[in-house]
């Protein structure tokens, strides 16, 4: 049933574990809206026929006396409350509160800029090292302290972010200039990139492939060009080889 609905709704391909819950919520909301649509359309035609001029030549000033509509409305409120309290809120709580263990995840820092995506990996030592806003320059947009020895092995890439399949990914999202929004539809994640803030978001990629990254905030003339960003999900071996092939960024 779920598959059929997602096909009917034209849902985009899903390639993450967490995205399953997002899709379920979208599907439930659409079922509810479908039921409301059918209900309203039946009532509409009933009213058009029942209260047509020839049958109802004189207006009735008392109107409806039954409480059916009140009960129906309460039923709708109840259905919406169930969706909100038992599905939407727990889903949101999981997304913002139940982060995977960073030691068992691919941790990436993202800095959006007009109009591309910069990503930084900690490198073989697994630590990002010292950072400060005062070190930020055109090349050093993550504000890495150049004197920090742990910063020597960092890998910085532009617009092509690789991650291994099956391993949770934690992204710390920020921006260099204006507000952008990192949206990876196949992963069902969307996080605003706000200057001065570094906001984490996470997902678990389950299917290998090359997925487009979109900017979900209108950020300037080149906004649409931010679709040049791609997330490549591949097996661990390929990912390791890719990361190794990247030269660490040398900061002066």
226 binds Cu ion (CB under 5 A): yes
Stretch near Cu ion under the rule CB under 5 A, chosen from 30-38, 65-73, 89-97, 222-230: 222-230
219 binds Cu ion (CB under 5 A): yes
Stretch near Cu ion under the rule CB under 5 A, chosen from 21-29, 60-68, 197-205, 220-228: 220-228
The CB-of-226 to Cu ion minimum distance in angstroms stands at 5
> Of 96, 98, 245, 225, which is closest to residue 162 (Cα–Cα)?
245
Output 129 or 229, the one with its CB closest to Cu ion: 229
Residue 167 has φ and ψ, to the nearest 5°, of -105, 135
49 vs 52: CA distance, rounded Å = 5
151 binds Cu ion (CB under 5 A): no
Output 180 or 188, the one with its CB closest to Cu ion: 180
Output 18 or 116, the one with its CB closest to Cu ion: 116
Output 173 or 186, the one with its CB closest to Cu ion: 173
The CB-of-111 to Cu ion minimum distance in angstroms stands at 12
The CB-of-225 to Cu ion minimum distance in angstroms stands at 9
194 vs 175: CA distance, rounded Å = 5
# residues contacting Cu ion (CB under 5 A) = 4
180 binds Cu ion (CB under 5 A): yes
Stretch near Cu ion under the rule CB under 5 A, chosen from 12-20, 100-108, 131-139, 210-218: 210-218
Stretch near Cu ion under the rule CB under 5 A, chosen from 29-37, 96-104, 197-205, 223-231: 223-231
The CA–CA distances, whole Å, from 105 to 73, 81, 120, 168, 209 equal: 46, 35, 14, 5, 19
* Separation of first and last alpha carbons in the chain: 58
Q: Which two tokens stand for residue 36?
A: 């409301």
The CB-of-219 to Cu ion minimum distance in angstroms stands at 3
Q: Which residues pair with 167 in a beta bridge?
A: none
Taking CB under 5 A as the criterion, the residue among 14, 163, 215, 251 binding Cu ion is 215
Stretch near Cu ion under the rule CB under 5 A, chosen from 15-23, 36-44, 176-184, 231-239: 176-184
The CA–CA distances, whole Å, from 241 to 59, 95, 155, 236 equal: 79, 30, 13, 9
141 binds Cu ion (CB under 5 A): no
Is the dihedral angle over the CA atoms 100, 104, 105, 109 positive or is it negative?
A: positive
Query: What is the DSSP secondary structure assignment for residue 29, as one 8-state letter?
Result: H
Residue ranges of the alpha helices (H) in the chain?
Answer: 2-8, 19-50, 68-82, 89-97, 236-245
Output 15 or 219, the one with its CB closest to Cu ion: 219
Which positions lie near Cu ion, rule CB under 5 A?
180, 215, 219, 226
């Amino acid at each position: 049933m779920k598959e059929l609905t997602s096909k009917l709704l034209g849902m985009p391909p899903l390639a993450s574990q967490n995205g399953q819950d997002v899709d379920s919520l979208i599907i439930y909301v659409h079922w509810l809206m479908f039921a409301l649509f059918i209900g309203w359309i039946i009532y509409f035609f009933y009213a058009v026929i029942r209260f047509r001029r020839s049958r109802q030549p004189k207006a009735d000033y008392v109107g409806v006396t039954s409480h059916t509509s009140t009960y129906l409305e309460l039923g709708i409120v109840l259905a919406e409350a169930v969706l909100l309290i038992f599905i939407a809120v727990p889903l949101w709580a999981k997304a913002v509160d139940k982060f995977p263990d960073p030691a068992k995840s691919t941790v990436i820092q993202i800095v959006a800029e007009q109009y591309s995506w910069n990503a930084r990996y900690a490198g073989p030592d697994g630590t990002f090292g010292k950072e400060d806003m005062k070190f930020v320059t055109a090349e050093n947009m993550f504000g890495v302290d150049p004197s920090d020895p742990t910063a020597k092995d960092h890998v910085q890439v532009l617009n092509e972010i690789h991650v291994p399949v099956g391993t949770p990914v934690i992204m710390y999202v920020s921006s260099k200039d204006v507000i952008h929004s990192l949206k990876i539809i196949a992963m069902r994640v969307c996080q605003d990139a706000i200057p001065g803030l570094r906001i984490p978001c996470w997902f678990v990629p389950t299917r290998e492939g090359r997925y487009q990254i979109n900017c979900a905030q209108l950020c300037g003339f080149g906004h649409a060009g931010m679709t040049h960003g791609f997330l490549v999900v591949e097996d661990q071996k390929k990912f390791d080889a890719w990361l190794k092939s990247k030269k660490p960024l040398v900061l002066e």
